[in-house]
């Protein structure tokens, strides 16, 4: 007849009250775990998206991250091939790496000069095969398949653009862009036409020159555009590109600006016959947990081997500030929910234990008379609270796992921010032992704390008064 | 085994603004290994005195020496330990723990004194046998009659072999037949185990069974009434001594 079994029997004594208290705890645990599983899944989803898109780490020229968009070409990494080779051969880094791939950002103007329209764009030159490999990263076992880049198996002059760019460039028909009503004629049609007719003359000529060797048959899928950019010397250069796809990128700003082309093509445009450079070297690791180690090793390399290149490393969270913002927001909501539920459990258990103390006043007096110390009384009631917490946590975790399973197999889907396709609605509870353990321990602590006060009151009771209690 | 000494004991209760004197200058020695009854009209202070003797209440002033211990000097935990070893309680309402079986109720005080399990179980079985409830060992108090509950309570009070067993109106909640059986049982146990019983009662049966009697009225000890009023109380055994 130890304290534990006595406590347990006392809980069973008032089953209904214990059940109600348990129910409050179970609901609380389920709410915390399901929301935690949901937001945890979103965080991992975001992370996966960013890691597939731009790797875990990027090596850039110093200050490129802050000032580079103004003039990417001025922040090129010289000798980038050697940097990549050294990294790939590095005994510390190599085992962690999945992909190392260079990219080149550029700013320019994309024009469909035959239609007399153009707009500024942000271009990105990529090594398509390596980008496709980046997209295979799935360390958190998301069910969705990575879609390969639209530039896969395309010619050197191929490009893909955001749907917003396609609309502005009046390429909807050619690129089969939906949601693209016939553009109303701008008010200043004549002026625009005049501009189109006059200004780009030389550019058209340039592009004609550029495109001359290639036979642009009208039967070829997609549409032809010209991309005008300043080369490293500040002189204008133009590339004739075959747009193979208009892509929905999920974020309007990107849709309206983005153009992706082969790295070689981009380098040709910016560096011409000079030694080609890139603006970033993307590193993807097998596991996100390796980031600190990889970053440390890279910093070491950058300060020794590549000191003269003045490079720096950024992680995906720095490169994508929205990651921190969204995870931060979820963390805030999660904390709020947890606090709220913690408070509810605190008062529920406290109330239950207070009632138990009042009901059992005579028993308390009897136990004390028989020779149980104050500490023994306190232990008994705290033990009851902790037991309640234990059962509540256990049942809650089981229920949360059950609900998570049901949700995950219900076929529900949702559209996360910045996505173009609906994503299966998943909550990650199973496989998050830290969250489960944290919640369970938290609940136990709250239950113990809320039982502590009534238990203390019980222990302080005057024996004679307690025995006289009716 | 030493006597119970009480000297210059005062106790009052405060009811709002009213000061209710419950015990006034009690000086009393109670002999060990006897069956001593505290009697007196309702509200005379019997329960109050038993509570003080049982070390579950503190006097305003005065001294109690029980089992050779000057209990006024003990702290709360020491008092609890002292009670668990030297004093057994029998209550008017039995006060068994409802979630524990008869066996476990008797076992509980032994757990408090940290008696080894095997010895404990044997002791409980022996006590259950002594109070004639071996077949009810696994019953919860709710499954026992009043008389059976009080038997369990007697066994519980005797479990740790205390020197003193205190009982506040142990038969008040029992019909007279059951009450008589309980008194007989207590009497027998007292003799067999050589413990000292002190209890309060209005019950003439109890008074009749007592070795010694102490009379109290309005919180003060009364001189002995005529022997005839006490029936079978043996005058030789009358140990009431009002100390100077
Ligand atoms: N907790 C208390 N608060 C206030 N007064 C009390 C308290 N306990 C007892 N008293 C008073 O002290 C006096 C003695 O009470 P006590 O309970 O000791 O009497 P008793 O002899 O046991 O009576 P009964 O035979 O009815 O049980 C009574 O006047 C009673 O009203
Ligand atoms: Mg009384």
- Going by pLDDT thresholds of 50, 70 and 90, the confidence category of residue B209 is confident
Measured between beta carbons, the chain A residues lying within 8 angstroms of B81 are: 371, 373
Return the pLDDT at B229: 43
Parent domain of B213: 4-241
- Going by pLDDT thresholds of 50, 70 and 90, the confidence category of residue A58 is very high
Q: Is the pLDDT of residue A71 over 90?
A: no
Q: Is the pLDDT of residue B227 over 60?
A: no
Measured between beta carbons, the chain B residues lying within 8 angstroms of A368 are: 56, 80
- The answer to whether the CB of B22 is under 6 A from ligand 1 is yes
Please name the member of B54, B99, B109 whose beta carbon is closest to the beta carbon of A10.
B99
Q: Is the pLDDT of residue A333 over 50?
A: yes
Predicted ipTM of the assembly? 0.91
Rounded to the nearest integer, the mean pLDDT of chain A is 87
Instruction: Tell me the count of A-B CB pairs closer than 8 A.
Output: 69
Cβ distance of A9 and B100 shorter than 8 Å = yes
Ligand 2 ion local residues (Cβ < 5 A): B 47
- Tens-place pLDDT, residues B27-57: 999 999 999 999 999 999 999 999 999 999 9
Return the pLDDT at A422: 77
Question: Over pLDDT 90: what percentage of chain A?
Answer: 61
The reported pTM is 0.81
- The answer to whether the CB of B15 is under 6 A from ligand 1 is yes
The 3-class SS string of chain A reads CCHHHHHHHHHHHCHHHHHHHHHHHHHHHHHHHHHHHHHHHHHHHHHHHHHHHHCCEEEEECCHHHHHHHCHHHHCECCHHHHHHHHHHCCCCHHHEEEEEEEEEEEEEEEECCCCEEEEEEEEEECHHHHHHHCCCCCCCCCCCCCCCCCCCCCCCEEEEEHHHHHHCCCHHHHCCCCCCCCCCCCCHHHHHHHHHHCCHHHHHHHHHHHCCCCCCCCCCCEEEEEEEECCCCCEEEEEEEEEEEECCCCHHHHCCEEEEEHHHHHHHHHCCCCCCECEEEEEECCHHHHHHHHHHHHHHHHCCCHHHCEEEEEHHHHCHHHHHHHHHHHHHHHHHHHHHHHHHHHHHHHHHHHHHHHCHHHHHHHHHHCCCHHHHHHHHHHHHHHHHHHHHHHHHHHHHHHHHHHHCCCCEECCCCCCCCEECCCCCCCCHHHHHHHHHHHHHHHHHHHHHHHHHHHHCCHHHHHHCC
Q: Is the pLDDT of residue A187 over 60?
A: no
Task: Return the SS3 of B106.
Answer: helix
Report domain extents, chain A. 2-47+324-468, 63-309
- Tens-place pLDDT, residues B7-29: 999 999 998 899 999 999 999 99
> Which atom of ligand 1 has the smallest separation from the CA of B49?
18
Measured between beta carbons, the chain A residues lying within 8 angstroms of B117 are: none
- Span A278-305, mean pLDDT? 93
CA angle B170, B172, B177 (to 5 degrees): 90
Measured between beta carbons, the chain B residues lying within 8 angstroms of A370 are: 83-84, 89, 108-109, 112, 156
Return the pLDDT at A231: 85
**CATH number for the domain including B59?**
3.40.50.300
Rounded to the nearest integer, the mean pLDDT of chain B is 89
Chain A residues with CB under 8 Å of a chain B CB are: 1-2, 6, 9-10, 12-13, 362-363, 365-376, 463-464, 467
- Span A405-415, mean pLDDT? 87
- Going by pLDDT thresholds of 50, 70 and 90, the confidence category of residue B142 is very high
- Tens-place pLDDT, residues B146-194: 999 999 999 999 999 999 999 999 988 999 899 999 999 999 999 999 9
Return the pLDDT at A193: 45
Ligand 1, residues A468, A469, A470: which to mutate, most atoms within 8 A of Cβ?
A468
H-helix or E-strand containing B170? none
Of residues A231 and A23, more confidence is placed in A23
């Amino acid at each position: 007849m130890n304290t534990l079994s006595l406590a347990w029997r006392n809980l069973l004594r008032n089953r209904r009250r214990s059940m109600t208290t348990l129910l409050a705890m179970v609901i609380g645990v389920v709410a915390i775990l399901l929301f935690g599983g949901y937001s945890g899944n979103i965080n991992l989803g975001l992370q996966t998206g960013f890691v597939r898109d731009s790797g875990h780490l990027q090596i850039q020229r110093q200050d490129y991250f802050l000032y580079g968009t103004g003039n990417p070409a001025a922040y090129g990494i010289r000798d980038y091939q050697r940097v990549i080779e050294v990294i790939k051969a590095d005994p510390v880094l190599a085992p962690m790496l999945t992909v190392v791939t260079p990219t080149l950002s550029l700013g320019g103007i994309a024009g469909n000069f035959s239609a007399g329209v153009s707009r500024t764009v942000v271009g990105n030159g990529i090594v398509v095969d390596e980008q496709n490999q980046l997209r295979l990263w799935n360390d958190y076992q998301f069910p969705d398949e990575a879609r390969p880049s639209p530039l896969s198996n395309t010619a050197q002059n191929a490009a893909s653009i955001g749907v917003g760019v396609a609309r502005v460039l009046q390429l909807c028909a050619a690129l089969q862009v939906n949601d693209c009503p016939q553009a109303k004629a701008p008010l200043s049609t004549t002026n625009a036409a005049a501009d189109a007719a006059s200004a780009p003359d030389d550019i058209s000529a340039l592009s004609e020159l550029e495109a001359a060797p290639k036979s642009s048959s009208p039967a070829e899928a997609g549409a032809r555009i010209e991309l005008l950019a300043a080369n490293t010397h500040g002189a204008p250069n133009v590339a004739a590109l075959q747009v193979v796809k208009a892509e929905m990128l999920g974020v309007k700003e990107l849709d309206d600006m983005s153009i992706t082309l082969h790295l070689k093509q981009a380098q040709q445009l910016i560096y011409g016959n000079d030694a080609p450079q890139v603006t970033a070297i993307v590193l993807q690791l097998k596991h996100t947990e390796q980031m600190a180690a990889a970053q440390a090793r890279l910093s070491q390399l950058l300060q020794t081997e590549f000191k003269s290149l003045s490079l720096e490393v950024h992680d995906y969270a720095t490169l994508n500030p929205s990651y921190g913002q969204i995870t931060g927001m979820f963390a805030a909501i999660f904390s709020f929910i947890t606090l709220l539920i913690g408070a509810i459990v605190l008062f529920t258990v406290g109330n239950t234990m207070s009632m138990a103390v009042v009901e059992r006043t005579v028993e308390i007096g009897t136990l004390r008379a028989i020779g149980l110390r104050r500490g023994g009384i306190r232990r008994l009631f705290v033990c009851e609270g902790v037991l309640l917490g234990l059962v509540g946590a256990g049942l809650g975790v089981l229920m949360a796992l059950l609900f998570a399973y049901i949700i995950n197999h219900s076929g529900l889907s949702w559209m996360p921010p910045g996505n173009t396709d609906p994503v299966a609605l998943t909550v990650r509870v199973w496989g998050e032992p830290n969250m489960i353990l944290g919640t369970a321990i938290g609940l136990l602590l709250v239950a113990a704390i809320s039982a502590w006060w009534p238990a203390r009151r019980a222990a302080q009771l005057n024996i004679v008064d307690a025995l006289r209690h009716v | 085994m030493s006597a119970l000494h009480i000297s210059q004991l005062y106790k009052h209760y405060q009811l709002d603004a009213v000061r209710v004197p419950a015990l006034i200058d009690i000086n009393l020695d109670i002999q060990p290994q006897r069956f001593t009854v505290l009697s007196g009209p309702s509200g005379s202070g019997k329960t109050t005195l038993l509570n003080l003797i049982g070390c579950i209440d503190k006097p305003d002033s005065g001294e109690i020496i029980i089992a050779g211990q000057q209990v006024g000097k003990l702290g709360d935990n020491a008092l609890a330990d002292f009670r668990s070893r030297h004093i057994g309680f029998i209550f008017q309402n039995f006060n068994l723990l409802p979630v524990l079986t008869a066996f476990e109720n008797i076992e509980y005080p032994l757990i408090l004194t940290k008696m080894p399990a095997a010895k404990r179980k044997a002791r409980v079985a022996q006590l259950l046998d002594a109070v004639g409830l071996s077949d009810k060992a696994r019953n919860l108090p709710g499954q026992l009659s009043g008389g059976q509950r009080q038997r369990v309570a007697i066994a519980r009070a005797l479990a740790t072999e205390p020197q003193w067993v205190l009982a506040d109106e142990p038969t008040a909640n029992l019909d007279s037949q059951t009450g008589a059986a309980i008194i007989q049982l207590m009497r027998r146990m007292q003799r067999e185990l050589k413990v000292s019983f002190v209890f309060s009662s209005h019950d003439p049966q109890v008074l009749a069974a007592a070795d010694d009697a102490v009379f109290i009225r309005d919180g003060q000890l009364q001189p002995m009434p005529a022997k005839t009023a006490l029936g079978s109380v043996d005058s030789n055994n009358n140990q009431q001594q009002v100390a100077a």
